[in-house]
Amino acid sequence: MAGNVWFIIGASGFGKAIAKEALRRGDSVVAVSRRGTSLKDLESLGAMLLDLDVTSDDTTINGVFQAAIDKYGKITHFINAPGYLLEGPAEGASSKDAFDSINVNVLAIMNLTRLEIAYLRPRKSGYIANFGSVGSWYGGSAYSHYSAAKWAVSGFTESVHEEVKEFGIHATVIEPGYFRTEFLHAEGTNRKVVSNVLEAEYKGSSVDIVRKALIGINNHQPGDVVKGAKVIVDVLTGSGVATGKEFPIRLILGRDCMDGIHDKIARTEKLIKEWEDVIVSTDHDDVQRA
């Protein structure tokens, strides 16, 4: 029976880098995406390739799990990294834009996680890592739906962590900053625009500024995805940089992400300090007197 068996859903970008790092260490990898069988570079390194639409029904998803189990005898690590950026003003997103974004970026991850827990819980061991983002911590112009999705994934995974840790399952949300992957490529599948970009209406606005910034930072992101993947595999195997450290509920990657979180904490503390008298004034009188 194989040692660690990684089942990586969304095996492009970070997912592909994690797959390569796990394979380099001698682990087994199942690389899964909508067009998973096209990932020939991973296959040449020894990965098993499988196709899966993450919005599929339970029977289909469990069938793909079973294909991996039939080959390797088990799955020890699940990486859930499907998703895409929906870019543009919130006003310009159609109801279908919004539903599709939440369906892939949130509901699919929730459903995959549910089925993964059902597989791992009787075995009382295993790892589940869902992908959040620096966008899990703060919102901004031109990426409202993406930020909403990543906030949801992080909150969901933090809750799952509390539910499953007593069963020997380790769940974490990976929150990278800007890493030099193909995620922001306009011609790729990870960056989509809203149905009505309202270009004239938002010209010169913060939406326009952010859109141009995303174009400008593409291929110049500060994060090294190979280094990031090494850290992720270390953390999910309790080795290397993770040796002796407590398993993290949130795995933050990149100085830009860390700096953004520090800024969010400072702004939140300032808000609470300014509004504290109003915040506590809404308690019942008997609570206020206690």
Can you spell out the DSSP letters for 108-176? Answer: HHHHHHHHHHHHHGGGT-EEEEEE--GGGT---TT-HHHHHHHHHHHHHHHHHHHHHGGGTEEEEEEEE
Question: In this structure, are residues 172 and 231 in contact, taking their beta carbons and an 8 Å threshold?
Answer: no
**CATH number for position 242:** 3.40.50.720
The tens digit of pLDDT for each residue in 199-248 reads 999 999 999 998 888 777 676 777 889 999 999 999 999 999 999 999 99
CA distance linking residue 103 with residue 256, whole number of Å: 28
Q: Per-residue confidence at 1, pLDDT binned at 50, 70, 90?
A: very low
Same domain as 47, residue 178 = yes
pLDDT in tens, 109-162: 999 999 999 999 999 999 999 999 988 998 889 999 999 999 999 999 999 999
Please report whether residue 55 resides in a domain.
yes
Q: Nearest 10 degrees: CA dihedral of 266, 268, 273, 279?
A: -170
Cα 181 to Cα 21: distance, rounded to the nearest angstrom: 15
pLDDT given for residue 247 in this prediction = 97
Asked if residue 93 is part of any domain, the answer here is yes
What does the pLDDT look like over 72-87, one tens digit per residue? 999 999 999 998 889 9
Q: Are residues 115 and 204 in the same domain?
A: yes
Per-residue confidence (pLDDT) for residue 144, from 0 to 100 = 94
Say yes or no: 169 and 267 in one domain.
no
Name residue, tokens 């959040």.
132
In a domain, 258, yes or no: no
Q: Are residues 244 and 269 in the same domain?
A: no
Residue 90 maps to a domain:
yes
Pair 69, 107 in one domain: yes
- Least confident piece of the model among 89-93, 217-221, 259-263: 217-221
Asked if residue 65 lies in contact with residue 115, where contact means CB atoms within 8 angstroms, the answer is yes
Flag whether pLDDT at 286 surpasses 90. Answer: no
The predicted pLDDT at position 213 comes to: 81
Domain total of the chain: 2
Q: Is 290 helix (H, G, I), strand (E, B) or coil?
A: coil
In whole angstroms, what is the distance from residue 195 CA to residue 132 CA? 24
Does one domain contain both 225 and 270? no
Q: Are residues 177 and 280 in the same domain?
A: no
289 shares its domain with 209: no
**Site of tokens 């300032």:** 270
Residues 158 and 290 in one domain: no
Do residues 243 and 282 share a domain? no
Residues 6+ apart with CB under 8 A from 117: 128, 160, 164, 169
Q: Sorting pLDDT into bands at 50, 70 and 90, what band is 186?
A: low
Closest C-alpha among 124, 150, 146 to residue 190: 146
Q: Give the SS3 label for residue 182.
A: coil
The more confident residue out of 79 and 192 is 79
CA 226 to chain centre: 17
Q: Cα dihedral sign for 146, 192, 52, 71?
A: negative
In contact, 105 and 153? CB cutoff 8 Å: yes
pLDDT at 53: 94
**Are residue 87 and residue 150 in the same domain, yes or no?**
yes
When the pLDDT of each residue in the chain is averaged and rounded to a whole number, the result is 92
Determine phi and psi for 284, rounding to 5 degrees: -55, 150
Q: Is residue 72 part of a domain?
A: yes
φ, ψ at 193 (rounded to 5°): -115, 155
Please identify which residue in the block is written with the tokens 């029976």: 1
Give the DSSP letter string of 190-240: SEEE-S---TTTTTTSHHHHHHHHHHHHTT--SB-HHHHHHHHHHHHHT-G
Residue 44 has pLDDT above 80, yes or no: yes
Q: Which domain holds residue 13?
A: 5-253
Q: Which amino acid is at 133?
A: S
Q: Are residues 109 and 44 in the same domain?
A: yes
